[in-house]
Amino acid sequence: MSELDENLRLSSRLVQELYHKYSFNMYDDMPFGYAIMKVIEADDDNGEAFFIYANSAFLSMTGNENTDIKGNSYREIMGSLSRNVYLNLCKAAYRKEKSIFFEKVKNSGLWFDFMTFPSIQDGYCAMTVFDSFTLDSDFIDKENLSEADRVIVKISKMIHSAEDDFDINVHRALRFLGDCLKCEKTYILEFFHGQPLIRYEWQKDEYFDEEEYAPEVVMERIQYIEPWIKDNHIFIVEDIDNVQDKSASVYKVLRSKGIRSTIMVPYYVDNSIVGYLIIDNFREKNISTIKYLVETTAITFFSEIHSRRLVEKLTFMGIHDQLTNVNNRNAFNLRVCELEGVEDCVGIAYADVNGLKMINDELGHDAGDARIIKIASMLSRVFLRRDVFRIGGDEFVVIVAGISQDEFDEKIAHLKKIARQLENEEKIVANAGVNMFFSLGYVWADSCLELNDLLKKADELMYEEKKKYYDVVGHRR
């Protein structure tokens, strides 16, 4: 036996002896809390998780130093099992997905950063606690601005966390802010294409009346309060009884919605309000500290949300045609790369607008644009908009994956029928064998393995139809 083999044998033996000697106690040397959980999955909120093991750090951090937690439920040991914790435990135990989340432990009143890891065996996972956030519950009453700064920094870190989905991060941050203000609801109202939208919200009571917080209902309240907001840039009502003498209409609308206290912070872009951070029914009373905390937090929320919206807009513009709103050539190239070599059936159609140059020359480019938009609309009525691409000035392509030949043929027939109906409506002199709106070439195959050849074939068939059109009208383009 070589010296290397002997060293490997001795090392292996040492590891086995250490494992049998210390068993689970080896985890006590970890610098963070560590626990192993058995997770019981259920369709409703009756699921549960049980502790199989927890190291000393976990017990100490969660306030369970003198507790034998083995076999006890999460609810018994930690005080409650929130939906947030339960879903993340299930993700790790059954879907083998790692999660990082921020959660308050009811028994200790502390907030912790948790991480869950999948195990080899279904139904089990590991949970670590690697940071805690101790919050002075009276920091607002004490006007403790340094504690308020800690909250602001924590919220900013939560929003910008790369470990989870942005929407989930914002929801957690709203929940944390709501806990700090001891309120019933925190939410963000945005304006999307001029319409109110509530995408992010948290409420203390899971059975909150959703109808009372529909965007259009919240807007009724905002319409009364907007003049006050424009004067003060923030609207804070500690007790609605205090506004009864100043504005009976504001008092009436707040009272009718069950609002006892509220904060509304607007966010401006180019001197226009694009959204509000709203906190309802808060119990904290030190208005100056609340104002500092909420205004600064609102900037954090909205600056990141606004940046995300700009990225979404730029991304949309990068893959959509601005005139027709169908996909553009960039999106077409991405779809081809996505489907190339996939063993799935596919239907492809090329459509080229007929007579566009003549329309532009005789009626103007607005008329030409109107014809392009009409063709895009026709294609989107028959096929899903996501499958329609404008790849040139007068050229469209449709690529539909996973469609049967019969269904594809039916859609093509329906498209031709719509074109004929429009010819009649616009009193276009039709020809029995020629589509006057567009020339169409299409193919279907049971596989995408030769996708480029299929695209070329559909294009060739389209040009054969285009020749028939030229034969009828007697001129090119």
Q: In this predicted structure, what is the pLDDT of residue 6?
A: 54
| CB neighbours of residue 234 within 10 Å | 16
Do the two domains 31-133 and 145-317 of this chain adopt the same fold?
A: yes
Instruction: Return the CATH number of the domain spanning residue range 31-133.
Output: 3.30.450.20
pTM of this structure: 0.66
Q: Judge whether 103 and 89 are in contact, CB under 8 Å.
A: no
Q: Judge whether 304 and 160 are in contact, CB under 8 Å.
A: yes
Q: Judge whether 267 and 273 are in contact, CB under 8 Å.
A: yes
**Per-residue DSSP letter, 271:** T
Q: What confidence tier does 258 reach under pLDDT thresholds 50, 70, 90?
A: confident
**Per-residue DSSP letter, 159:** H
**Per-residue DSSP letter, 301:** H
Torsion of CA 203, 207, 209, 214, to 10 degrees: 60
pLDDT in tens, 389-412: 999 989 999 999 999 999 999 999
* The two three-digit tokens of residue 72, written as one number: 């006890």
Q: Judge whether 412 and 442 are in contact, CB under 8 Å.
A: yes
* Residue-range domain boundaries for the chain: 31-133, 145-317, 329-473
pLDDT in tens, 193-236: 788 999 899 888 765 667 778 888 889 888 888 887 776 678 88
Three-class SS state of 67 = coil
Q: What percent of the chain has pLDDT over 70?
A: 88
pLDDT in tens, 408-419: 999 999 999 888
Architecture (CATH level 2) of domain 329-473 = 2-Layer Sandwich (3.30)
Q: What is the phi/psi pair of residue 371, to 5°?
A: -65, -40
pLDDT in tens, 30-89: 778 899 999 998 776 678 899 999 998 898 888 888 888 888 899 888 888 888 889 899
Query: Is residue 454 scored above 50 in pLDDT?
Result: yes
As beta bridge partners, residue 49 has 39
| CB neighbours of residue 137 within 10 Å | 13
Q: In this predicted structure, what is the pLDDT of residue 22?
A: 47
Q: Which of 333, 394, 332 minimizes the C-alpha distance to 369? A: 394
Q: Judge whether 88 and 99 are in contact, CB under 8 Å.
A: yes
For domain 145-317, give its CATH number from 1.10.260.40, 3.30.565.10, 3.30.450.40, 3.40.50.920: 3.30.450.40
Q: What is the phi/psi pair of residue 386, to 5°?
A: -65, -15
Q: What is the phi/psi pair of residue 432, to 5°?
A: -55, -35
